[in-house]
Amino acid sequence: MPTAEKAQTIDELAQMLQDSKGAVLLDYRGLDVAQIQALRRSLNAEEVEFHVAKNTLLRIASERADVAIAPDLLTGPTAVAFGMHDEVAPAKLLTQFTRTNRVVHIKGGIIGGRSMTAEQIGRVAELPSREVLLATLLGAIQAPLANTLGVLQAPARELAGLAQALVEARGGEAAA
């Protein structure tokens, strides 16, 4: 039976797994305390929570939260970055961090309740931000509508142009 402290840690991890939109697991071997603190600060600025967790406690928490974590992700030292508001933020931030700190590597993650490999997390990190994707989608929806509206308004514009030319032509003859 786990101690009270371990039980509390399991409950906290389970709650974070349920509340987060995405999580990325990181093997943090090779980082010193100052580097981990700098990483935490950069993640907190983007509303991503970073916790070092024991694999056994994380496995129990994932079972309680009904979130599947692949067993091969729970080996060696593990830190978890939880994205509370954005699924992709932890993947982007940790991928960027691992590019500058080659001693650490991403083990994998969980997005949308699905366990993902490190390669899949890398592909997710390359996706544009949510705002860019929404703007692209909106542009794709608006472009055909704008073109259709232009085609429908063309005869009215041409008729107005002809009427204006007629008025100018007759006004020019009356003045002469």
Render pLDDT for 102-157 as a digit per residue (tens, 0 to 9): 888 999 999 887 889 989 998 888 888 778 888 888 888 888 877 787 788 878 88
Fold of 4-127: Alpha-Beta Plaits (3.30.70)
- Average pLDDT (47-70) is 90
| Strand, helix or coil for residue 12 | helix
Q: How confident is the model at residue 172 (pLDDT cuts 50, 70, 90)?
A: low
Which amino acid, 119?
E
Residue corresponding to tokens 């928490």: 61
Domain boundaries, the chain: 4-127, 129-176
**CA pair distance 106, 83, nearest whole angstrom:** 15
Q: How far is residue 30's CA from residue 67's CA, in Å, rounded to a whole number?
A: 28
Specify which residues 49 forms β-bridges with. Answer: 82
Tokens of 49: 């929570």
- Does the pLDDT at position 40 exceed 50? yes
Least confident of 14-18, 41-45, 74-78, 143-147: 143-147
| Cα–Cα distance list, 56 to 7, 18, 26, 111 (Å) | 12, 18, 15, 21
The model's pTM is 0.71
pLDDT(15) > 70: yes
Do the strands 48-53 and 22-27 form a parallel or antiparallel pair, or are they unpaired? unpaired
